[in-house]
Structure 1
Amino acid sequence: MLSEGFVNLDKPAGWTSHDCVAKLRRLLRERRIGHGGTLDPAVTGVLPIAVGRATRLLPYLPSGKTYVGTIRLGLQTSTDDLSGDRLAEADTSHLPLTAIEAVLPQFLGQIQQQPPQVSAVQVQGQRLYQLARQGKAPVDLPWRTVEIQVIRILGWRPGAQAELDLEVQCGAGTYIRSLARDLGAALGVGGTLAELRRTASSGFEISTSTPLTDLLDGAPVPLLALDSPLQYLAVVRLAEEASDRWRQGQAIPITITDLPAVEGSPARVYCPQNRFLGIGTITAGLCKPKVVLAAI
């Protein structure tokens, strides 16, 4: 089994992302472990885990994420999910699905979004959840630009507190709790997130993820190759002598295969034996070393 690489972990409810990292550190006896894309404790699903030198590749993982969740309308909470205090309630018996379909387009594309009052966002050097524990959560939070590519309605249950099932494809930094809150506000009834599962993140899919519970029961940790989530990047293949010079920090004239490259973009770099050497940046026909993984 590989001693380093990526783990496509299926996080259970009740665990923080840091809890999962700490558990894998003990299981693998490896300190260099990190994760890509924090999940709230109540949220389940795909949590990419990097082990060993893979931690250096976390900034290069693709940013797209997909969630499947349930929004409860007619309820506002302090955390924008069911874990918070109830702030207001409204009857949604009058609300038709057509009203929701009419307002959903305003949440597509690049939009401005405020994070939940209790979240991992930093304000003045402290996480919002830390401020909330101290009773100091700010009232006015900074707006952030996020992108939502797709919102698809999966289910609709009308009633006094109607529930809406959605699939959301979005970019990094998007809070589905904020979407639930803002959708409820747009409908004039309030909304909060009732349930959420991440089905895809940073190139990993839920269909091939490994439940943390399996690892706790003694199953081996399935480590994926260092370049496994980077298949969207262009490829640079270097000759043997050029590979040695690249690993020493020199920029090398390139021949690109597989995927087209964009000026200034990162690329996967390989030697003639198809060994993954690391990440380079393509500039003016040269491949400059950015992350060198393989020693000479």
Structure 2
Amino acid sequence: MNAPRTRVQRRPVHGVLLLDKPLGFSSNQALQKAKWLLRAEKAGHTGTLDPLATGVLPLCFGAATKFSQLHLDADKTYEATARLGIKTATGDAEGEVIAERPVHVAAEDLERVQAQFTGPIRQVPPMHSALKKDGKALYEYAREGVEVERAPRDVVIHKLEIRTISEDTIRILASVSKGTYIRTLGEDIGEALGCGAHLTSLRRIATGGFVEAQCVTIEALEAMDEEERLARLLPAEALVDGHSRVTLGTEDAARFLSGLRRRGAWADADEVAVFGTQPPAFLGTAHVKAGELIPGRLLNPIEIQQILLNAQQTEATP
């Protein structure tokens, strides 16, 4: 007879965990594993990363989930390898081979293609993607053998480096805007080289201001005790690191948290991170227009109290 499963006692956890997503895990699987290890009540991620991709996946807990959208829109950097001469149905090594062509690529070809795909470009989203059409993910249509029309998207390749690894393999390093599909980029590069290509590996090495060196693996998290896991969390305000900063006194902070606008000698700004002084705490986001601080996404008083209490307990731990 199987022993009854122990129910995990959830608790309020607030912050951002920078996870190095392992190969084969969906973003949601990685999130649920980390949520279970932290015993967190509420969690979300900042955009999906393919199961066949590894690398930087910021996970948001508690109050931090309110600001996860900010990193959905962030620029990202990827490192990929692509096999030339072979096209697959999915654009990666998992798909069946649909075409093979000889490879004759010189250094000047790589330079030409690198310049061709740097800057604003248009991409047709791949069928094997989570993008939805009539409420259904494109990959679901693809599994049924149905191809649907997809409108091209405007994206920006901020920086692109293409290097030869071997006669039929290239390394792609790309810093891109939101909505860019690296598998599609690899396929398009292969077509521009005249031989076709598919990705054999894909790793996200940066998203926004977060980089792979800051990340922790699931295996490392599993080996930690609870205090060590909590210590890996960045505060929620790490998601608004690039925002202008405004600090409010006690009375203004309380009114701001209730949704009221505040007046002050602030310059106009679209993205503002707002903090209180007593106690010193992150309150939320806002924008400033004509001297008015206009609330955006706000923490609630209970969340702020929990964050301050957790910080006190962490400081008290020897």
Residue 210 of structure 2 aligns with an amino acid whose one-letter code is F
Residue 152 (structure 1) aligned with residue 193 (structure 2): no
1:136/1:152 CA distance change after superposition, 3 Å: same
Distance in 1, matches of 2:70 and 2:27, equals 19
Structure 2 partner of 1:77: 88
1:284 aligns with 2:294: no
TM-score of the superposed pair, with normalisation by structure 1: 0.91
Aligned equivalents of 1:235 and 1:294: distance in 2? 19
Supply the RMSD in Å over aligned alpha carbons. Answer: 1.9
Question: Is the aligned partner of 1:228 residue 2:234?
Answer: no
| Secondary structure in 2 matching 1:26 | helix
Task: Quote the Cα distance in structure 2 between the aligned partners of 1:242 and 1:88.
Answer: 65
Q: Distance in 2 between matches of 1:217 and 1:136?
A: 44
Give, as a single letter, the amino acid of the residue that structure 2 aligns with 1:201: T
Structure 1 window deviating more from structure 2 (25-34 vs 70-79): it is 25-34
Which is richer in helix?
Answer: 2
Structure 1 CA distance for aligned equivalents of residues 219 and 152 of structure 2: 37
Rounded Cα–Cα distance in structure 2 between residues aligned with 1:262 and 1:156: 47
Aligned to 2:46: 36
Whole-angstrom distance in 2 between the partners of 1:224 and 1:29: 17
1:142 to 138, 143, 151: 151
Q: Which amino acid aligns with 2:277?
A: P
1:268 alignment partner in structure 2: 273
Flag structure 2 segments of 5+ consecutive residues without an equivalent.
Answer: 1-11, 303-318
How many Å separate the matches in 2 of 1:291 and 1:183? Answer: 40
2:237 paired with 1:252:
no
Query: 1:112 aligned to 122, 131, 135, which one?
Result: 122
Equivalent residue in structure 1 for 2:113, among 103, 124, 149: 103
Partner of 1:240: 250
Equivalent residue, structure 1, for 2:182: 176
TM-score (norm 2): 0.85
Q: What percent identity do the matched residue pairs reach?
A: 35
Choose which of 59, 78, 83 in structure 1 pairs with 2:69: 59
Q: Deviations over 1:200-245 (max 9, x none)?
A: 1132110110012212344542211110132111011112211111
Amino acid of the structure 1 residue aligned with 2:273? R
Q: How far does residue 95 in structure 1 lie from its aligned partner after superposition?
A: 1.4
- Which deviations, in whole Å up to 9, do the C-alpha atoms of 1:166-216 show, x marking residues without a partner? 211111111110101111111221111111111111321101100122123
Name the CA distance, whole Å, in 1 between partners of 2:263 and 2:289: 10
Report SS of the residue matched to 2:81: strand
Structure 1 runs not aligned, ≥5 long: none
State how 1:146-225 maps to structure 2 within 5 Å. Answer: 146-153=155-162, 155-159=163-167, 162-218=168-224, 220-221=228-229, 222-225=232-235
C-alpha separation in 1, matches of 2:133 and 2:242: 33
Whether the 8 Å contact between 1:276 and 1:294 is mirrored in structure 2 is: no
SS at 1:116's partner residue?
coil
Between 12-21 and 209-218, the greater mean CA deviation after superposition: 209-218
SS in 2 for 1:39: coil
Report the Cα offset of residue 255 of structure 1.
4.4
Of structures 1 and 2, the larger Rg is shown by 2
Q: Deviations 1:237-277 (Å, cap 9, x if unpaired)?
A: 11221111111111112345xxxx654x1210011243110
Equivalents in 1 of 2:82, 2:125: separation in Å?
16
Q: Check if 1:17 corresponds to 2:9.
A: no
Contact kept, 8 Å, 1:236 with 1:254, in 2: the verdict is: no
* Alpha-carbon distance between aligned partners in 2 of 1:294 and 1:144, rounded to the nearest angstrom: 38
**Residue type of the alignment partner of 1:77:** T
Whole-Å Cα distance in 1 between the matches of residues 86 and 268 of structure 2? 46
> 2:75, 2:177 within 8 Å by CA — same for their partners in 1?
yes
1:67, 1:168 within 8 Å by CA — same for their partners in 2?
yes
Which runs of at least 4 in structure 1 moved beyond 4 Å after TM superposition?
none
